[in-house]
Structure 1
Amino acid sequence: MKNEPKSSKLYGILVLYEMHTDFLLRALAGIDQKDAQKRLDTKANHIAWITGSIVQGRFFLAKSLGKDLKAKTGELFVDNKGIIDDASYPSLEAFKEDWNLISPVLLEALQNMDEEQLNQQFEMPGMEMTIFDMISFTTYREANCIGQIALWRRLLGYPGMNYM
């Protein structure tokens, strides 16, 4: 990690954050756009939706921390909208551009958070938690989504994700 966080509470999460920033791009490497929206005759979320969802998660968290950047790919994900049958999702390249836009901005915001900010209450419809809890949940969810994409790679006949 390049810069130490103000709060030691965030150290482990920021290590994962930096790993996830790289791992999402590795998970998407070489996937053809036509395959990104395949659901293989299931109701499962496809790679394009999973990718858009994780990208929007970072934009949402950044906005919650006062960094209001707009994603080019966010329209289909407003209000945590689930997958839409027969929708045409943005390209993986567009999602990668948004990922590369938000990731350094959010990283800096997270590194600069102090204990008081981390302990502030965060509210969503039906949920109340601290900002630290929201950051923790987002980090967990990113790992989950990257794992789903890695599984989809194999199901679609691509080689396994390269972690190096």
Structure 2
Amino acid sequence: MKIKTISNRLYGILVLFEMHTDFLIRALDGIKEEDAQKRLDTKANHIAWITGSIVYGRYYLAKSFGIELNSVTDELFKDNKGIIDDAVYPSLADLKKDWEKISPLLQDALINATEEKLDEMYKMPGMEITLFEMISFSTYRDANCIGQIALWRRLLNYPGMNYM
């Protein structure tokens, strides 16, 4: 599908954005809620945390475009909190709902982003980058998180992720 963007810089990122939007749902397909919070006697981030983190990331990025929506991830993930050992993370069903709510809104904002908007400075603790750089990083991180979930599927004896 050919995506029409205001900024040509975002074309490749939007192709990946669409893939990631679909791939997260595919990565979570069939995962039982009780398995989503298993860490298999490790300190690794479990599926519920990884999913919440990626959902939170889209909501956080959307704020840069004036999209102010609440998510089930707001409290557990704010300020880039890492996994909390005794916390009960939102259900995969709730995380998927939030993902499906924010993704089309953020995609529309990205499609309509101007060069000036992309060049705005994005402040993070200890550094400043452009909004375009933050979008690029977020896109990379989405892929990384989906890959981690795909690995967890196998570790928890689920079939491999279906990309089709």
Which band: TM-score by shorter chain? over 0.9
Query: What is the percent sequence identity of the aligned residues?
Result: 71
Code of the aligned partner of 1:63: K
> Is 1:27–1:150's contact at 8 Å kept on the other side of the alignment?
yes
Query: Deviation digits for residues 74-127 of structure 1, max 9, x if unmatched?
Result: 221111110000111110000000000000000000000011111111101112
* Inter-partner Cα distance in structure 2 for 1:129 and 1:55: 21
Please identify runs of 4+ aligned residues in structure 1 that moved more than 3 A. none
> Is 1:62–1:68's contact at 8 Å kept on the other side of the alignment?
yes
* Inter-partner Cα distance in structure 2 for 1:145 and 1:3: 24
**Other-structure match for 1:25:** 25
**Other-structure match for 1:83:** 83
* Inter-partner Cα distance in structure 2 for 1:156 and 1:35: 7
Code of the aligned partner of 1:159: P
* Inter-partner Cα distance in structure 2 for 1:123 and 1:89: 28
Q: Give the CA RMSD over aligned residues.
A: 0.9
Q: Gaps (5+ residues) in structure 2?
A: none
How many residues get paired? 164
> Is 1:47–1:149's contact at 8 Å kept on the other side of the alignment?
yes
Q: TM-score, normalised by structure 1?
A: 0.98
Query: Deviation digits for residues 19-52 of structure 1, max 9, x if unmatched?
Result: 0000000000000000000000000000000000
**Other-structure match for 1:45:** 45
> Is 1:73–1:94's contact at 8 Å kept on the other side of the alignment?
no
Q: TM-score, normalised by structure 2?
A: 0.98
**Other-structure match for 1:5:** 5
Deviation at 1:64, TM superposition (A): 1.5
* Inter-partner Cα distance in structure 2 for 1:72 and 1:92: 11
